[in-house]
């Protein structure tokens, strides 16, 4: 068996030479899942709490706690906004989930979401210099039903401890009511990353893909598979950014969204879907294969593949077709198959394929920008600004069909998004604090450098240990045997 390196940058080379492209894709998925389980157990999770103030002598305990800390309590009592300066609140995000729609695995029970929520906190700290706390909650009411009001009440009760809230993995239709209510009723920004974050980064990828295909967003025909929180928000942002709703068709498990969908109209919980029923798909098309014929763009966030999107659907699309298949953990069709079917540009949500359209590119900078100006909410304008910021950053360093958006390895993208979003918050009148773009940019840069330097120091000093090579090889052997 071939040896895999610790950087995991040789994944395509470690599998048997006899493996087909499909087998390699399946083996990579199996390897990453198994390695994730083994390394999470090795580390006991992936985040921790650490002091950021020093202990320079015994009496410093009396400064950080009683009696000195009494001055902090009374100061904040007299002016609650000072909590952003005198505590970590100004750089702290609560990652809230009821774990009812975790990736492609559905309802995983409240503690089942901890891996993802810790992952969000991990990425916020490393990529954006933002501290975050996972909060997986039980949203069941006395009848045992998942109750959106329970989530709303919880967030409103804990908002005084945080500078922002990141909602995550809440199933529809509850996710709509939770986000829309909390955006209006909380004094801090509430952001639904599955919806707004995914929409923001997808729009960024689409902007650059359309540039390469020499097409305009107002002219293209778009077929969208899946009508959950992600795709409905993507559609809304595309329309806000200039897309023609009459050329957009969304599909859920029962068919196309259109004005004759009485099942959606009659259920007030699905009001966001009904809005799209009224503005999109004027011909009331109900067959996805028909919707794909001549379409310029296919955006799928639906059931994990690899056979959810059919090659023949892609083959029927227009020249220089753009295909985003972003289901996790397995895309609706693998990129090699989509390319073989005729797609010009293919993107997925995974980093082991080209063009990772993943919300991880957006939320660290977006939330940091909101925090630095103490925004009261994240507006749609801020999300669209973030999308253009991502697209412009990638275009400035060069784009091609295999490289339409920045990657998480590009240090500068997060501080750029932070600065652009913060300035948009000021323009939108939702910022409590007004500072210049350069000040935001520098503060973001300092925070990111701090986080990454601290992580590297812990690794260099062996406080964060390397996982044993045998652990990697065991995961590789597992994946190979699973696929053979």
Residue with the two structure tokens 């969304």: 250
Please name the CATH architecture into which domain 60-194 falls.
3-Layer(aba) Sandwich (3.40)
What pLDDT does residue 1 have? 84
The DSSP-derived string for 241-271 is: TT--GGGEEEEETTEE--TT-HHHHT-GGGH
What pLDDT does residue 67 have? 96
For 66-118, how does the pLDDT look when each residue is reduced to its tens digit (9 = 90+)? 999 999 999 999 999 999 999 999 999 999 999 998 987 889 999 999 999 99
What pLDDT does residue 328 have? 82
Mean of pLDDT over the chain = 95
Distances (CA, A) of 320 to 99, 206, 213, 249: 38, 13, 6, 19
At residue 223, the 3 state secondary structure works out as strand
What pLDDT does residue 147 have? 95
Homologous superfamily of 196-347 in CATH? NAD(P)-binding Rossmann-like Domain (3.40.50.720)
**Cα 142 from Cα 268, distance rounded (Å):** 22
What pLDDT does residue 37 have? 97
- Annotated catalytic residue, options 26, 28, 38, 120: 120
% of the chain exceeding 90 in pLDDT: 90
- Angle formed at CA 362 by CA 122 and CA 357, multiple of 5 degrees: 100
What pLDDT does residue 25 have? 87
Higher pLDDT, 135 or 305: 135
For 389-405, how does the pLDDT look when each residue is reduced to its tens digit (9 = 90+)? 999 999 999 999 999 99
Distances (CA, A) of 20 to 27, 349, 483: 10, 22, 11
Active-site residue, 65 included: yes
What pLDDT does residue 65 have? 96
Active-site residue, 271 included: no
**Cα 9 from Cα 6, distance rounded (Å):** 8
What pLDDT does residue 34 have? 96
SS3 content of the chain, % helix, strand, coil (to 5): 50, 10, 40
- The mean pLDDT value for 304-315 works out to 94
For 27-57, how does the pLDDT look when each residue is reduced to its tens digit (9 = 90+)? 998 999 999 999 999 999 999 999 999 999 9
Contact by Cβ (8 Å): 309, 283: no
Asked whether the predicted pLDDT for residue 284 surpasses 90, the reply is: yes
What pLDDT does residue 467 have? 97
Fold: same for 60-194 and 196-347: yes
Q: What are phi and psi of 361, to 5 degrees?
A: -75, -25
DSSP 294: T
Q: What are phi and psi of 179, to 5 degrees?
A: -65, -50
- Annotated catalytic residue, options 2, 37, 41, 65: 65
**Cα 38 from Cα 251, distance rounded (Å):** 38
DSSP 354: S
- Residue 374: enclosing H or E segment and its boundaries? none
Domain boundaries along the sequence of the chain: 60-194, 196-347
Q: Which residues of 428-454 are buried (b: 16+ CB within 10 A; e: fewer)?
A: bebbeeeeeeeebbebbbebbeebeee
Q: Which of 391, 441, 398, 403 is nearest to 420 (CA)?
A: 441
Contact by Cβ (8 Å): 419, 437: yes
Give the pLDDT band of residue 149 (cuts 50, 70, 90).
very high
Q: Please report how many Cα atoms fall inside a 13 Å half-sphere around the Cα of residue 181, on the Cβ side.
A: 15
What pLDDT does residue 105 have? 84
What pLDDT does residue 146 have? 93
What pLDDT does residue 21 have? 87
What pLDDT does residue 411 have? 87
Asked whether the predicted pLDDT for residue 459 surpasses 80, the reply is: yes
Contacts of 333 (CB under 8 A, 6+ apart): 305, 306, 307, 308, 309, 310, 311, 314, 323, 325, 341
The token pair that represents 421 in the structure block: 């979003």
Contacts of 269 (CB under 8 A, 6+ apart): 173, 174, 176, 177
Q: What are phi and psi of 69, to 5 degrees?
A: -65, -15
What pLDDT does residue 302 have? 93
Higher pLDDT, 46 or 484: 46
For 353-367, how does the pLDDT look when each residue is reduced to its tens digit (9 = 90+)? 999 998 999 999 999
Give the pLDDT band of residue 17 (cuts 50, 70, 90).
very high
Distances (CA, A) of 421 to 174, 367, 379, 414, 475: 27, 9, 10, 11, 40
pTM assigned to the model: 0.93
What pLDDT does residue 106 have? 87
For 214-254, how does the pLDDT look when each residue is reduced to its tens digit (9 = 90+)? 999 999 999 999 999 899 999 999 999 999 999 999 999 99
């Amino acid at each position: 068996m071939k040896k895999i390196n610790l950087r995991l940058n040789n994944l395509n080379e470690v599998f048997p030479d006899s493996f087909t492209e499909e087998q390699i894709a399946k083996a990579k998925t199996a390897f990453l899942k198994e390695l994730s389980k083994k390394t999470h157990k090795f580390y006991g999770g992936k985040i921790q709490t650490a002091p950021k103030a020093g202990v320079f002598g015994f009496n410093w305990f009396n400064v950080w706690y009683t009696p000195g800390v009494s001055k902090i309590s009374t100061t904040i009592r007299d002016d609650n906004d000072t909590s952003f300066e005198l505590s970590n609140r100004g750089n702290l995000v609560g990652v809230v989930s009821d774990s009812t729609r975790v990736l492609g695995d559905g309802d995983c029970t409240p503690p089942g979401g901890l891996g993802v929520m810790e992952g969000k906190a991990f990425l916020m700290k490393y990529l954006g210099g933002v501290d975050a706390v996972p909060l997986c909650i039980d949203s069941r009411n006395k009848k045992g039903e998942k109750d959106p009001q329970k989530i709303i009440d919880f967030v409103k009760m804990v908002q005084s401890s945080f500078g922002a809230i990141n909602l995550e993995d809440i199933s529809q239709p509850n996710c709509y009511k939770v986000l829309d209510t909390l955006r209006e009723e909380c004094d801090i920004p509430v952001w639904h990353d599955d919806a707004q974050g995914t929409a923001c980064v997808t729009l960024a990828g689409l902007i650059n893909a359309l540039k390469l295909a020499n097409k305009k967003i107002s002219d293209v025909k778009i077929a969208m598979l899946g009508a959950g929180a992600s795709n409905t928000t993507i559609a809304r942002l595309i329309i806000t950014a200039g897309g023609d709703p009459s050329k957009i068709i969304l599909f859920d498990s029962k068919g196309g969204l259109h004005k004759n969908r009485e099942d959606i109209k009659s259920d007030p919980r699905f009001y966001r879907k009904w809005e799209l029923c009224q503005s999109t798909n004027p011909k009331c098309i109900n067959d996805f294969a028909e919707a794909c014929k001549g379409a310029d763009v296919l955006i799928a966030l639906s059931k994990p593949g690899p056979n959810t999107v059919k090659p023949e659907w892609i083959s029927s699309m227009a020249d220089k077709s753009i295909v985003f298949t972003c289901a996790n953990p397995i895309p609706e069709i693998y990129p090699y198959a989509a390319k073989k079917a005729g797609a010009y540009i293919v993107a997925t949500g995974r980093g082991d394929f080209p063009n990772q359209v993943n919300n991880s590119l957006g939320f660290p900078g977006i939330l940091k920008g909101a925090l630095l100006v103490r925004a009261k909410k994240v507006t749609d304008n801020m999300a669209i600004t973030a999308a253009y910021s991502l697209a412009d950053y990638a275009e400035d360093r060069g784009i091609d069909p295999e490289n339409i958006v920045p990657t998480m390895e590009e240090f500068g993208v997060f501080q750029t998004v932070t600065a652009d979003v913060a300035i948009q918050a000021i323009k939108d009148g939702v910022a409590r604090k007004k500072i210049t773009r350069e000040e935001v940019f520098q503060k973001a840069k300092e925070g990111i450098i701090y986080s990454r330097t601290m992580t590297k120091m812990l690794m260099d000093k062996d406080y964060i240990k390397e996982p044993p090579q045998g652990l990697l090889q065991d995961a590789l052997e597992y994946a190979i045997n699973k696929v053979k």
